[in-house]
């Protein structure tokens, strides 16, 4: 199959081949996509997480036209290319080989396991620091705007744990956890539903004990929850929607 590479800093992945269609996810600079179907100027593509959607041709470039052999990963950096142009790259985007970071940081792929170890404490630390202040955006996956499962997928991905895109998909991974919501271990994933059929609609990352971090529409984005604060109506509603937890470490 033909592959392309995202050229824009962030490219929306949409439900239908139309500019006004719902954004279902995002794809970041340097990431490779497989073309499944074409309706010029739209392409139905699949990324490394097997999630599919439509992307406009203007967001991508031919595979190999820009080299990414070094595999440098942006940690919210601003780079300058050979033309002298500067642009910001979000967390998780790849830095072209011929671009030079001016501000922020880029990490070589080989150094990622040391920088982002595969431990519960490191994962929760990343969720707390890298996404602090992030606004809620349906389909988003970066600190520029993200949804609940986008936060989870990106944070765990930095630590070498590949998770699927949607909360309902993430809920099928790992091992079941028997503990109550306010007694989960750090980095456990807790799942919630606000639907009568109990279909999963939300995911959060436990911090250990009665605390969790998530991106929630009801909070406008990033929030740390203290589950003991039952005087907060949102906390009460969240606890009432809890279904179960999974451990993916």
Q: Which of 31, 77, 159, 202 is catalytic?
A: 202
Q: How many CA atoms lie within 13 A of 217 on its CB side?
A: 8
Q: Is 56 a catalytic residue?
A: no
- To which residue do tokens 């031919």 refer? 62
What is the spatial distance between Cα 150 and Cα 155, in angstroms, rounded to a whole number?
A: 8
Q: Is 31 a catalytic residue?
A: no
Q: Which of 31, 77, 159, 214 is catalytic?
A: 214
Q: Which of 31, 77, 148, 159 is catalytic?
A: 148
Which residues have a catalytic role annotated? 148, 202, 214
């Amino acid at each position: 199959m033909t592959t392309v590479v995202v050229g824009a800093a962030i490219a929306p992945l949409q439900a239908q081949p139309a500019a006004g269609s719902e954004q279902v996810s995002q794809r970041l600079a340097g990431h490779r996509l497989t073309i499944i179907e074409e309706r010029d100027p739209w392409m139905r593509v699949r990324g490394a997480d097997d999630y599919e959607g439509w992307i406009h041709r203007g967001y991508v470039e031919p595979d190999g036209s820009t080299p990414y052999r070094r595999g440098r990963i942006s940690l919210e950096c601003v780079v300058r290319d050979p033309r002298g142009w500067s642009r910001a790259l979000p967390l998780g985007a790849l830095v072209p080989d011929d671009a030079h970071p001016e501000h922020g940081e880029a990490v070589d792929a080989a150094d990622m396991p040391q920088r982002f170890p595969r431990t519960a404490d490191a994962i929760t630390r990343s969720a707390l620091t890298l996404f602090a202040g992030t606004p809620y955006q349906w389909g988003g996956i970066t600190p520029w705007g993200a949804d609940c499962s986008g936060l989870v997928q990106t944070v765990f991905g930095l630590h070498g744990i590949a998770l699927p895109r949607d909360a309902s998909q993430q809920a099928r991974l790992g091992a079941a956890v028997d503990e109550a919501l306010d007694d989960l271990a750090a980095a456990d994933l807790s799942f919630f539903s606000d639907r009568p059929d109990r279909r999963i609609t939300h995911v959060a990352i436990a911090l250990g004990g009665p605390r969790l971090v998530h991106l929630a529409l009801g909070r406008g984005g990033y929030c740390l929850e203290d589950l003991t604060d039952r005087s907060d109506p949102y906390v009460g509603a969240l606890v009432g929607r809890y279904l179960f937890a999974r451990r993916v470490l």
